[in-house]
Structure 1
């Protein structure tokens, strides 16, 4: 009975389901028209909802800078699909409605009508469902801030090592702020782009913010760029004060680990005032900035080890960059072009901006003659003829010039372009010319004026407009020099005529001499000046380093404003023209390294003369009596290695009440002793002394030189009889002898056995010793031991930068113990075969980059204190090539 009941129940279920199915299938055709009408209405309402929702999304995205919610985006995608499907069915509906019969309850094609009716019912339900889900209170939100935005950046040449160095600073938790500085156009911004993009391409926890400072309102500009990056920028933001903006920025960045990449700052940037938290060990944030100014880097980050100078490209990489811009096809058009291209690259001196600009300009030049012209133009500092140079490159570089503090700084900068390309300019020489030209303030004494001049030089170095060669010399990058000459050429106030280093053989001609204010013909091959110089506004004339033999008497007749005249390094020039007396405005006269045999008495008319340089005029035999004393305003008199004995005019010198600087030579001990009795003001003026050809003295007491309080340079040359320089305790106990001494040169002093006295020159920077055949040790431990209680060697060589030892056959020891050399840059040891040990250990230079030059055979035989010392200095060696 149970089985019968079970079967009966199953049959009932089957019959019911079949009935329902039949009824359901019948309903699709019966409700087809009704469902179609309903579908059209529902689709219209869904389209209206979609349109309204899209308008809300557009407002949020376009005006409020928001990002649509994912669920809203998904709903819109589904709504679009459903509406499309519904529209397609509605389009097909007429042909199915026509097949209906019996009042719409049956169809002539029941199967297809049933299927279509089922599709209509399904899509109708989907439309209804989409309408119910289309009610959103919020359609968008603030987008998540990406860690870094990709910045456009071309492939770079020569910056890879800098990118890695900056990246190492970013990974170093002890480095919070780091500066990138260098010449305009050297690639600092490109480097910062590379850093930004490395952030973009790697995994890290930083919020990376890129901002460009500006000279005008830099804090506000950076604040606005930060606001855009972190989502604060809106209409309300614009109306806020600087402090309010700072507060908003601080509230967000305070809790974030950020990396601020700050491009092109020109002065100290106050991070705190801008609302940027100072990077610390706790927040592990970073600030990386670029600047053309070294002083800005020091103000932002006083630890110079954390600042990076971007240098110009070496020759190989420079040519590679140039080739990229000019195209290899152009370089292969003719066999001569490649060689000429190398000359063009050399003139660009590794500056990427110049290589790129001139490379593009030369890309269409296919003949050697065009390239020869380009080389000629660049060598004449006339690069503005190239497309893009005068309108793009120079103005970009000129911005550094425009940002100098005032016209005085700008004039001093332009003055440097008078020197030839790659010329190493002596700082003191440059400053003395500025003083002669009247470019500096009026000062009560020469020392103050020189200090101002050196301050300006430092500022030009900081602005990367001059390059520091060493403590005493600077140079000008070739492209910066060209830019300076371009500025001077465009100026209405200052007109330059510069043909230095052109290999000229004759005096050049110009159309408008009357406009020229400064003229330089340095480093040429001019022998005769036989045409009158008619330059009524000329103030500086550089004629140094020529082959001058004759200057006509009337040459200077029409240069009444001339203040600076440089005739130096003309060894064939034996006589000055008497017409030099016409230079009534002259303040600066440089006759050093000339063949002048006598000074004309007519020089007495130079009543304004403040600077007279007679150094190394070895043939000078006569200076008229009362000539030197007639220069009543003379401040600088240089007579070191002058052929005319300095002491012959010593009495006249004592009447020069403004004399501040004197360089002088002594030929015997009696002259030196006499000089020690000079009045105090006279002895205080002595900056450099040469002891030359001492033949009558075996010993020299330190007392004779120690009284010269401002002695900077001391030379002992050809003192054949000199055996010893004695150290007296009483003078060492006194004012601190040789306190100002910076440079010592010893040459051909064959009987000297040591130079221990230099241990009492605490600020010695340069020590050069050559051809002293009897020298056995530099510093005698025994001699110092006798005055050990005076602690004379407590700072031995602590300021030394250069040590050069040449041809010292018996030299065995520099010093018996290892010494710290915190500032040492170069040691050169040549033909000192017995010198086996150096006063070095692994800690001597404290990470300072030291170069040790010498013969390879000598280097192999050096005996090191220990293995760690050998390893430390192994990379320092550089073979010396004679």
Structure 2
């Protein structure tokens, strides 16, 4: 019989044997090895995971180099391996964290565990993950990690909300779905919305799934095939350094070899005549290749020539009355239409006169936006109706009388002449404001002013009025441009004028001097941007007042070329680098007032120029080869008002003495190549009495220090550049400067380049109206504004409005630059910042207040941007969306 004590002992022994029995059972099933091998597996596991991490790190470095430096796209298999490795490493790290607890449970030579079930389960996990890590490592051997990214099937184009194009879009898109349709034409009046419709087609491709490679190209009138070839090459990856040197046929062959293997959709905008697709290298669309060509043109006959099936030629009609009024209302503003009860009804009459043409509705709508009385609107209707009577035959001419309304509404003939003058520049040309105004002055289009500055102000006022009238478009950096259609209209107006006869062949690749039937009628001639080398025939142009010959390949101008141009007032030879001498016959231009020789290869000025007694403007800028100017030549131009010699090869000191005798001279641009030269120039009265606009300081070798405050006294200095002043270490700031004296009040643009020993540019604090600051290649520059130097100028304390007008800032290749300014600044006008190769610049002078009301763009490399240190989280959030990655080409 069992006693209570023996019963208790029995149960105790039984309980203690349970784990042993379980272990024996486990051993019997072969799972004890997970416990016995746990520590060994863990050591192996940790080593393999460490190896995997190293392998992953090396692979990621190779990928980064391929992306950042070679602009390649990682292979899908590489990205997949990295993703799987990351997941595996995360799982492994968690197991390693848990491992000490399981190791502690081991006992009796590590083959037993106090918690056997848990240990076996954990041991299985380790063994499984160990094998997975080994397999992952074995699969991580990649010879290549990236490849050139595929071109996108379509690139989105900017597009504004449209009115009334929905039905046309549906017609074109429906046509595109038909297998038997290969070529689709879109035609209609200029300004009716054809390009806008083609934009919508392009963006529909971009937003939908398809198997087309979409190519956008603009043909235009001049060299359409060559222009389209270049755009196609850019889109399909053929364009490179050798592309431009290829012949038309060679380009066509290259394009064909690529496109014949693709299913493409070519969107061809603005063709003016039958476009030979085969000659351009574009395979003709067929049902077999499935490709498409969609083009726009103003002419129905071109549509029929491209493909005769009228079902596939879609006409873009003018807007119906309701939609036309909606577009007009958007541009004129509902507030204007509500100013008087009668205006809305009168506006309907104006819209009716616009005949539903969108470009006319937009242009005239903007012109009427400021007209608040019924009488102004009644006058507008009257003028529009009178213009309609002069409509010439032809679809392309119907809109000109409508668009001409903006021209007719200009204040007087002076404004109109200035507007027409702009059509002398090539299509899409960015016209420099100051250059344009100086030409107007030379032609006598502006009032006679005692001071040139007043004449220039009048010119800029007219430019502003033309922009307000939508006859000019505002461009970047003080430039304007003409819309193509507006330029066509201006040339049409000039062609109809009894007083003006224009001869304009600009940007049309002329290689020889052109011919015309009636040279004697021509009043203005533009041969800009061609390839003319020789002018060897006399032009009988007794009424010619302006002659543009700039941007050609001129080498020879015959001595008698100018013999029959007695009225010529403006002669522009800019950018003819092969032109080394002027003909002595230039002395025949006795009426000449404006002579532009900038950026030519002229080596000397002929003494015969003394005959140009009326000369008021002489531009010798960037004539680097000019080494000889005859004595007393400059002083003989007794009426000279403007003399531009920046980057002229002939030293300015040699003519400064002669300038003293020019009583009307009040505008100068100069280059100084030493501090002593600058110091000597400052002794001449003319140096300070003239409106010196541009000064360039180049290649200083005689001074380590520069007192730039002498230039601060130049009241009209607007552009200042310092370049390649290799020995210059310091630009001094005067300690006793007082408010309003010695400041660069007119300075708008500062450029510093390759001044390797400069450590700061603190002196720019004295330019309160600075708009553009460009600094590049100054390898010793450490800060833009030095706090220490600011402290030396006591008058500045509490009175600093730094960079309040700055619009653009460019910092490039400044390896030691650490800071721009020690405090955050508001930058109320800043539009663009570009920072490249400034690795030590980690913090920008920005805070959350700097972002208020801003539309700022910050450009730079992504790697630099990721390391930028922000004032606080709100500043970071405000400026992160402003960044645009920038890649340096070449």
SS class of match (1:454): helix
1:317 aligns with 2:324: no
Match of 1:549 in 2: 555
1:344 maps to 2:271? yes
Deviation of 1:807 (Å) = 1.0
Per-residue CA deviations over 1:199-254 (Å, capped at 9, x if unaligned) read: xxxxxxxxxxxxxxxxxxxxxxxxxxxxxxxxxxxxxxxxxxxxxxxxxxxxxxxx
Contact preservation (8 Å) 1:606, 1:631:
yes
TM (normalized to structure 1)?
0.59
Separation (CA, whole Å) in 2 of partners of 1:357 and 1:315: 11
2:574/2:598 contact within 8 Å kept: yes
Q: Secondary structure at the match of 1:730?
A: coil
Aligned partner of 2:485 in structure 1 is 479
Change (3 A) 1:401 1:605: same
Measured in 2, the distance between the counterparts of 1:159 and 1:588 equals 41
Work out which of the residue numbers 393, 396, 399 in structure 2 matches 1:389: 396
Q: Deviations over 1:777-804 (max 9, x none)?
A: 1111121122244248621000001111
Aligned partners of 2:271 and 2:296 also within 8 Å: no
The alignment status of 1:796 with 2:802, answered yes or no, reads yes
Q: Identify if the C-alpha distance between structure 1 residues 718 and 565 changes in structure 2 by more than 3 Å, giving closer, same or farther.
A: same
SS in 2 for 1:843: helix
The Cα offsets for residues 253-290 of structure 1, whole Å up to 9 and x where unpaired, read as xxxxxxxxxxxxxxxxxxxxxxxxxxxxxxxxxxxxxx
Distance 1:842 1:733, change over 3 A: closer
Query: Quick check: 486-495 or 746-755, which moved more?
Result: 486-495
Number of residue equivalences: 556
The structure with more radius of gyration: 1
Match of 1:566 in 2: 572
2:744, 2:800 → 1: CA distance? 15
SS at match of 2:298: helix
Give the distance between the partners of 1:369 and 1:676, measured in 2 at CA: 76
Q: Within 1, Cα distance between the matches of 2:415 and 2:872? A: 52
Other-structure match for 2:45:
none
Q: Do the aligned partners of 2:268 and 2:296 also contact (CA within 8 Å) in 1?
A: no
CA 1:717–1:816: 2 relative to 1, 3 Å = same
TM-score, normalised to structure 2, is 0.59
Distance in structure 2 (CA, Å) of the matches to 1:341 and 1:406: 40
Mapping of 1:432-831 within 5 angstroms?
432-470=438-476, 472-679=478-685, 682-733=688-739, 735-791=741-797, 794-831=800-837
Equivalent residue, structure 2, for 1:366: 306
Give the whole-Å Cα distance in 2 for the aligned partners of 1:542 and 1:806: 36
- 1:862 deviates by 1.7
Change (3 A) 1:872 1:360: farther
CA contact (8 A) 2:194 2:296 kept: no
- What CA distance in whole angstroms lies between the structure 2 residues aligned with 1:403 and 1:500? 28
Equivalent residue number for residue 869 of structure 2 = 863
Distance across 1 between alignment mates of 2:797 and 2:196 = 47
Shift of 1:357: 8.1
User: What are the superposed Cα offsets for residues 512-571 of structure 1, whole Å, 9 maximum, x if unpaired?
Assistant: 111111111111111111111221111101011111111111111111110000001111
Q: 1:881 to 1:481 in 2, by over 3 A?
A: farther
Deviation at 1:860, TM superposition (A): 2.1
CA RMSD of aligned residues (A): 3.5
In structure 2, relative to structure 1, the CA distance for the partners of 1:426 and 1:630 (3 Å cut) is: same
The match for 2:849 is: 843
Deviations 1:701-747 (A, max 9, x none): 13321221211111101101101111103344452410111110111
Cα distance in 2, alignment partners of residues 694 and 522 from structure 1: 36
The aligned runs of 1:35-184 (5 Å cut-off) are none
Of 434-443 and 699-708, more deviation after overlay is shown by 699-708
The 5 A counterparts of 1:222-241 are none
Rate the CA distance shift 1:803–1:583 in 2: closer, same or farther, 3 A.
same
Alpha carbons of structure 1 residues 737 and 519: separation in structure 2 relative to 1, 3 Å: same
Q: Which stretches in structure 1 are left out of the alignment for 5+ residues?
A: 1-156, 164-186, 192-291, 293-309, 323-327, 348-354, 372-383
SS in 1 for 2:850: coil
What is the aligned partner in structure 1 of residue 356 from structure 2? none
In the TM superposition, residue 344 of structure 1 has moved relative to its aligned partner by 3.5
Q: 1:369 to 1:621 in 2, by over 3 A?
A: farther
Question: Which residue number corresponds to residue 417 of structure 2?
Answer: 411
Go from structure 1 to structure 2 and tell me whether the alpha carbon gap of 1:845 and 1:592 turns closer, same or farther (over 3 Å shift): farther
Once residues 453 and 416 of structure 2 are traced to their aligned partners in structure 1, the CA distance between those partners, rounded to angstroms, is 22
Residue aligned with 2:268, SS: helix
1:402-450 C-alpha deviation (Å, 9 max, x unpaired): 1111111010001011111121111111000000000011111101111
Instruction: Give the structure 2 partner of residue 287 of structure 1.
Output: none
Bigger CA drift: 443-452 or 850-859? 850-859
- CA gap of 1:361–1:460, structure 2 versus 1, over 3 A, is farther
